[in-house]
Structure 1
């Protein structure tokens, strides 16, 4: 299984690359042993030069990066400011995109339609409530509730202002008016 994965990794990614690799391998195989050795030496030297150039470029890049950081620090440009500026620019790009603008217009028209529908519903409900309030049956209910409230209020205020001072007195008064005797009366009689 490992050999299969290793061979997969070494295979070129595209058909064009595989044809080129096959051509190079065929040309290399057609060389004599001395020519193959000479070709390997040339490739090794070229590889060493390329790696040396890569290392030089990395060193130059690191130096330039440090210099840019020093300049940014001197200018007061912080990492947070750079991130914020990048985010603001990204948001600006998104808002200016045609997809965002179409979506925004669709949402705006939808919200306007929704608001008009809710406005008509609430105005309809309000008018129905005003019609109900002005109807004869509602006035009749209001009068009955009002008179019931007044009756209860009158009874409560009468019982508070009356001569009844305690619960037993109220029981005695209630029993005497109804003709019933209290349990204590029956025991004493």
Structure 2
């Protein structure tokens, strides 16, 4: 019978519990068979009483939870509102934390410095462009582009005043006046 009772002892989860279980098992083994049966009966009764109390507490808790849900429903408090309130409170707690405030301060300082650097880079680029625009080489390029534009504009207006009505006609006339003939023209002659 002693082997039967000692085999019911479960393995403990921690080393401290292991020492306590070993002590309890040694004490239990030292008892007589009658004392072991008496102790076993006491533990069984205590276990039944504790389990009954747990069930009673579960029933009371379920009843209180239902009553709280009914009151919340009557007050218009929904699950979504509770979640929203919890989220807002959590965000408020995070924003009020010192870590968040320090991080926010660092980010603000960093963004201000970045804006300052980008502003100075932009102003530097702008000043370089204005210097380039006022340089002699840029004026020379502007003059050349302007004169090329005027030449094209003059030729187009001259061609319009003549008998030429289309771009291909203008090209053909230009070829014939310059003495250049296309291969198709030389075959036709």
Deviation of 1:161 after TM superposition, in Å, equals 2.1
Q: After superposition, what is the alpha-carbon deviation per residue over 1:149-175, rounded to whole angstroms, capped at 9, x for unaligned? A: 111111112112212357897688557
2:32 is matched with 32
- The verdict on how the C-alpha distance between 1:86 and 1:3 changes in structure 2, with shifts beyond 3 A counting, is farther
Matched residues, number: 189
Higher relative contact order (CA 8 A, sep 6+): 2
Greater CA drift, 97-106 or 63-72: 97-106
Greater CA drift, 23-32 or 94-103: 94-103
- The verdict on how the C-alpha distance between 1:187 and 1:9 changes in structure 2, with shifts beyond 3 A counting, is farther
Once residues 100 and 181 of structure 2 are traced to their aligned partners in structure 1, the CA distance between those partners, rounded to angstroms, is 88
Unmatched tracts of structure 1, length 5 or more? none
CA contact (8 A) 2:6 2:25 kept: no
Q: After superposition, what is the alpha-carbon deviation per residue over 1:120-159, rounded to whole angstroms, capped at 9, x for unaligned? A: 1111111111111112221121111111011111111211
Unmatched tracts of structure 2, length 5 or more? none
2:157 is matched with 157
Deviation of 1:185 after TM superposition, in Å, equals 8.7
TM-score (norm 1): 0.84
CA contact (8 A) 2:2 2:29 kept: no
- The verdict on how the C-alpha distance between 1:46 and 1:175 changes in structure 2, with shifts beyond 3 A counting, is closer
- The verdict on how the C-alpha distance between 1:166 and 1:35 changes in structure 2, with shifts beyond 3 A counting, is closer
What is the RMSD of the two structures over their aligned residues, measured on CA atoms? 4.7
Once residues 17 and 23 of structure 2 are traced to their aligned partners in structure 1, the CA distance between those partners, rounded to angstroms, is 10
TM-score (norm 2): 0.84
